[in-house]
Amino acid sequence: MDHVNTSNTAMNSTARRWPTGTEYAEAVQQPQLSFADTELREGQLTLTPLGIPAMASGQNAVAFHFQAHTRPVAVRCLLSENEDGRERYRALQTHLAQDQIPSVVPAQWIDEGVRVHASWWPVVVMPWVSGRPLHDAVEDRLIDPPRLTLLADRWFDLVESLQAKRFAHGDLQHGNVLLTDDDDFQLVDLDGIWVPEMTVGAPGELGHPNYQHARRNSTTWGPNVDTFSALVIGLSMAALGSDPSLARFMTGENLLFAASDFQKVEDSPIWSALAASSDPEVADLTQRLHSMVLENEPSDIALRDALATEATLVRPVAASPVQPTATGLPGSATTDSNWWETPGDAATIAPGGTTYWSVPIETASTETAGRPDPVSAVSTTSSHSAGSNDRAKGLARLTGRPIVAGIVGGAVAGVVGSVVALVLQATGGNPEVDAAMFVGSISAFLGGFVAAWPSLNVEAYGAAFARFLVGLVAGLVAGLIAVGIADAVMGQVLTDSIETDVALVIYLWALTAALVGLAVGLLRSPKAAALAFTGGGIGGAIGGAIHGSTIAEFDSSVLVVDASDPATALIAVGISILVGLTIAIALRTARSGSFTIIEGPGQGSVVDFHKKKATIGGAVGDTLVLARSDVPAAAVSIRLSEGRAAATAAIPVQLDGQLQSEAFDIEPEQVLGINDVYVRVSYKKDAVNS
């Protein structure tokens, strides 16, 4: 690969706004024009089934999959300044040239990486590695405990060898460690590495808090920085190998420990569970980690020495009845500013559920097929199990995008509406009533599901139910009004001798869908209502044309609907999908901005907002509802005005890793940390200035 080094790149202009993920996605679709490097210029960009770039987004970078001439590669495009990135990656190249490390995925920094809007921006290029993120791989192996025990031993051997080779990763955690089918470990996201050739200081990131000492700070760096996190990972795998039922402590954001377990040991149930282990190795490792946790600062000690010294016996902590929950960055002003920088952006998902460096694109659609359910495997009923968390993520990955949510919501509405109409027909038998209720029930459920689906994706079930009821009523009223108007028109136009009229069926469905769009849009903003009215009308007209030209019939100016005919249900589902799609496109177009959950419940979901003010919190009325009891209503309020996005926080939050209190400004694509949930905030500049 060509190595380009130019001093005239945008990298050297910190005052300039860095490109967004969307801008990068537009640029990389023309590799001949966008890349200076020969390998990338001649490479083939991987696209999703929808024809858009397969892109993974994280806090500080987006990544694209390319098939280069001789190998598949991942191309990371930066979203913000990485002042020392060039020096770190070049120091790594120098170090690996002297002593290859098979478990470290080589990566190359290219200054003149990608051209966006006539300016060059740096990229990091690395081989595409086949493997699974560690927490998913461990979950897959819960049915084979001895394999996990062996993995723990291999893990300790690996980290000891890395330290012997004078290499430290800086952020060992489940997202940055991949496990191949052959049980080989691969380390990715090398932004925080340490090697002796390094000429710059400690990185800005402090590692994932679920794997780091509570008092780690910017001075905790050097050849032994990985010892604590390595012990956390090794102990977790050894403990799960000894007792797979400990999977109840897996939240999808950890292996066994959460940040709170290192801050308030006496309140942590995991310590009690581990201290009670009958496995001598697990008990020994637990004592060693527990001793390190109680130290006032992280120990500067090699892993080999940490495992060789005599373990300090500790008193098992009292058992706590509190069940483990997904915890991450604590919202306490007294804690260190430990910011988990979403790994390279490891924990984020490309279309199809693919982590950008690990799972081959062609297997993305079947990533979770056939995976064992750890809940069943270990006979536990914890609602916070890794299995349930992964299934929830799978739903968000599939339907978390607004357009896809509109399609899915429409399909569900069509099915449910058809069933309701079938029940009414079976109990009543009046064709005229059934026709009205057929259209009315579909429009009602269409309004309900379109309104509720974003909350379902983020697991805010209370908010989803409330919004479903509001949408249901709005859709039902819209449908009944449309049917009433349509009946009046049909009565004037049709005669007994006319059996069908395509134009009138189009009119019926277009009017119904337009009014449903209007009702759903009014729940958001006047602009959204206008566009959704138009979008719904278009979708309804197309669906009505299909209905009218296929199975629609009239009897004495009454539209006849046979809900028992499978073709009727098929038409209903098709029309609902069309209407759901067009309304979703309209609402997406009308948005002022959006919230993207890059880590936490509903990871991968996008929730749009349509007004100048939006809120993130734990109440039904918040724009983005976080399904957490420790997040108050309107935890963060954002107002777009006067050329900026002004935010206020009711609790301590972080913005791109910096603790914020009360009032602060948010730039497009910055990331908010609210307890253990990380949300990217996007908004349109014209919405701010309008």
For residue 172, the one-letter residue type is L
Distances in Å between the alpha carbon of 187 and those of 192, 283, 356, 635?
Answer: 12, 28, 14, 36
Element (H, E) at 67: strand 61-67
C-alpha R_g of the chain: 28
Mean pLDDT is lowest, of 109-118, 189-198, 271-280, 621-630, for 621-630
Q: Helix crossing, 526-548 with 502-522: angle to 10°? A: 160
Distances in Å between the alpha carbon of 678 and those of 417, 595, 620?
Answer: 37, 10, 19
SS3 label, residue 675? coil
Half-sphere exposure of 682 (CA within 13 A, CB side): 19
CA 379 to CA 382: how far, in whole Å?
A: 9
User: What pLDDT is stored for residue 15 in this prediction?
Assistant: 54
Query: Does residue 75 or residue 411 have the better pLDDT?
Result: 75
Query: Does residue 544 or residue 226 have the better pLDDT?
Result: 226
- For 115, residues 6+ apart whose C-beta sits below 8 A from its C-beta are 27, 33, 34, 35, 36, 121
Q: How far apart are the first and last CA of the chain?
A: 46
Per-domain residue ranges for the chain? Answer: 10-127, 132-336+368-393, 400-590, 593-689
Q: Is the torsion defined by CA of 542, 548, 552, 556 positive or negative?
A: positive
pLDDT at 240 over 70: yes
Distances in Å between the alpha carbon of 483 and those of 14, 189, 262, 558, 562?
Answer: 59, 57, 62, 11, 17
Q: Is the torsion defined by CA of 35, 26, 348, 335 positive or negative?
A: positive
- Of the pLDDT bands very low, low, confident and very high (cuts 50, 70, 90), residue 100 is confident
pLDDT in tens, 254-307: 999 998 899 888 888 899 899 888 899 999 999 999 999 998 888 889 999 998
Query: Does residue 432 or residue 511 have the better pLDDT?
Result: 511
Longest dimension (CA), the chain: 97
Query: Can you read off the two tokens belonging to residue 553?
Result: 């019939």
Phi-psi region of 401 (alpha: psi -120 to 50; beta: other; left: phi over 0): beta
pLDDT at 357 over 50: no
The CATH code of the domain at 10-127 is 3.30.200
Mean pLDDT of 315-342: 33
CA 64 to CA 162: how far, in whole Å?
A: 29
Query: Can you read off the two tokens belonging to residue 253?
Result: 């954001």
- Of the pLDDT bands very low, low, confident and very high (cuts 50, 70, 90), residue 416 is confident
User: What pLDDT is stored for residue 332 in this prediction?
Assistant: 30
User: What pLDDT is stored for residue 429 in this prediction?
Assistant: 54
SS3 label, residue 363? helix
User: What pLDDT is stored for residue 161 in this prediction?
Assistant: 92
Query: Does residue 627 or residue 35 have the better pLDDT?
Result: 35
Mean pLDDT of 60-83: 84
pLDDT in tens, 455-506: 776 777 787 888 888 888 887 888 778 777 766 765 555 444 444 577 878 8
Average pLDDT, the chain: 76
Under a CB-based contact definition with an 8 Å cutoff, are residues 152 and 237 in contact? yes
Share of the chain above pLDDT 70, in %: 76
Q: What's 132-336+368-393's CATH class?
A: mainly alpha
User: What pLDDT is stored for residue 344 in this prediction?
Assistant: 34
The reply to whether CATH 2.60.200.20 applies to domain 593-689 is: yes
User: What pLDDT is stored for residue 496 in this prediction?
Assistant: 44
Mean pLDDT of 508-526: 85
pLDDT at 135 over 80: yes
Distances in Å between the alpha carbon of 358 and those of 54, 171, 406?
Answer: 13, 18, 30
CA 626 to CA 286: how far, in whole Å?
A: 33
Mean pLDDT of 588-615: 85
Residue 570: closest CA among 547, 539, 536, 540: 547
